[in-house]
Amino acid sequence: MRVAVHAGQLLQPVPGGIGRYEIALLRQLPALGVEPVAFGAGPRPRGVAHRVPWIDLGFPRGSLRYEAWHRLRRPALHITADAVHAPSLAIPPARIPLVVTVHDVAFLRLPETTTRRGVAFHSRGLTLARRHASLVIVPSNFTARELLREGFELDRLAVIPFGIDQPAPRDPDEVDAAVARLDVREPYVLTVGTVEPRKDIPTLVHAVDRLRRAHPDLTLVVTGPRGWGEVRGLDRPFVRVIGAQPWSVLDALYRRAAAFCLASRYEGFGLPVVEAMARGVPTIATTGSALEEAIGDAGALFAPGDVDGCAEQIGRVLDDATLKARLGRAGAARAARFNWTRSAEQHVEAYARAVARGSS
């Protein structure tokens, strides 16, 4: 089976989680009997192995092409394949079975956390997915329920959790050195993700500030690229905003964190939560979205925007070594369920379903 995978997210300044998803799929599919052909409107981006064919769609590039796809359904794709996979809501006009991944509908539930143009673009993409996709992949049961609310048919949905690369053993001195080079000192609470309003980092800042009364050396380390919108309150002396980091450095930061916390108001999956749990870090996140599903009973939860609840859960981990160890073990065991090989296998099954639907 030959599948054309739109990897245009890798051409963006901040590829984010969708970019990592695209890279993982393109890496895994060849070993599973699928020939992926990656395409996008630009030269081959970093992360796409040279053994995977790359098709540069040429002009128009970037948002101009995506707007043309959504408004005019042009220019048409001319790629020989059995199916097309759109890993985001940039929906190409496909004449063969189309598979679309919908990560979340935050643009509908929290429109104030993105631009008006972003809301319009993603809403149009969702409409096109509902109208044209032979199959829609979602990373969680939470997102599946969200799409059912938006009029998608149950038999066209495939719930396929994403994976992570399980952590390999590392020399402890090397890990310590990687953290020290950033001038990050323990103990610290770590949060990872694009720095944007939806992540609600200010709630975490206020929670850590309260905890410093009992733990005066505690700091908050914010790791990730800048996204859309202004995030206030990060200029506090105990907050270290260190931007996007190479994977080896991020891995070290996870391993040395006293706790990991994601205060996001809405997530369709939550890769950083699983990555933290995989490294035995006590993990704390918000209720109300797919983060609960990712964590299960292996972490602690608090309501979005609840500073007291956030501080309480982090404080329990800081003050109770037995709890910290138990959550670390439980998190690592739960995270072992999420791997890219299994996820890719389920993607292959989804492609086959889409092709069968398209030929019926």
Domain that holds residue 234: 172-335
pLDDT digits (tens, 9 = 90+) for 82-117: 999 999 999 999 999 999 999 999 999 999 988 899
Does residue 358 surpass a pLDDT of 80? no
In sequence order, the 6+-apart residues with CB closer than 8 A to the CB of 51 are: 30
What is the rounded CA–CA span in Å between residue 293 and residue 143?
Answer: 11
When mean pLDDT is compared across 13-22, 62-71, 159-168, 312-321, the lowest value belongs to 13-22
pLDDT digits (tens, 9 = 90+) for 3-18: 999 999 999 888 888 9
So what's the pLDDT on residue 97?
96
What is the rounded CA–CA span in Å between residue 94 and residue 92?
Answer: 6
The pLDDT > 90 percentage for the chain reads 92
Average pLDDT of the chain, as a whole number:
95
Read off the pLDDT of each residue in 277-282 and give the average, rounded to a whole number: 98
Read off the pLDDT of each residue in 214-234 and give the average, rounded to a whole number: 93
Whether residues 207 and 104 share a domain: the answer is no
Whether residues 194 and 86 share a domain: the answer is no
pLDDT digits (tens, 9 = 90+) for 299-332: 999 999 999 999 999 999 999 999 999 999 999 9
So what's the pLDDT on residue 113?
87
So what's the pLDDT on residue 13?
84
Whether residues 98 and 140 share a domain: the answer is yes
Whether residues 94 and 137 share a domain: the answer is yes
Instruction: Name which residue leads in pLDDT, 309 or 62.
Output: 309
CATH code of 230's domain? 3.40.50.2000
Q: Total structural domains in the chain?
A: 2
Q: What band does 359 get if pLDDT is binned at 50, 70 and 90?
A: low
Whether residues 176 and 139 share a domain: the answer is no
Q: What is the DSSP string of 155-173?
A: GGEEE----B-PPPP--HH
Whether residues 316 and 355 share a domain: the answer is no
Which pTM was predicted? 0.94
Whether residues 121 and 192 share a domain: the answer is no
Whether residues 346 and 331 share a domain: the answer is no
Q: What band does 201 get if pLDDT is binned at 50, 70 and 90?
A: very high
Pinpoint the alpha helices (H) of the chain.
16-28, 62-72, 106-109, 116-132, 141-149, 172-180, 201-211, 247-256, 271-278, 290-295, 307-319, 321-335, 340-359
Whether residues 207 and 298 share a domain: the answer is yes
So what's the pLDDT on residue 360?
42
Tell the residue number behind the tokens 């089976």, with chain if given: 1
Strands 239-243 and 259-262: unpaired
Question: Edge to edge, what strands does the sheet with 98-101 contain?
Answer: 54-56, 35-40, 2-6, 83-86, 98-101, 135-138, 157-159
Does residue 52 surpass a pLDDT of 50? yes
Whether residues 136 and 181 share a domain: the answer is no
Read off the pLDDT of each residue in 286-298 and give the average, rounded to a whole number: 96
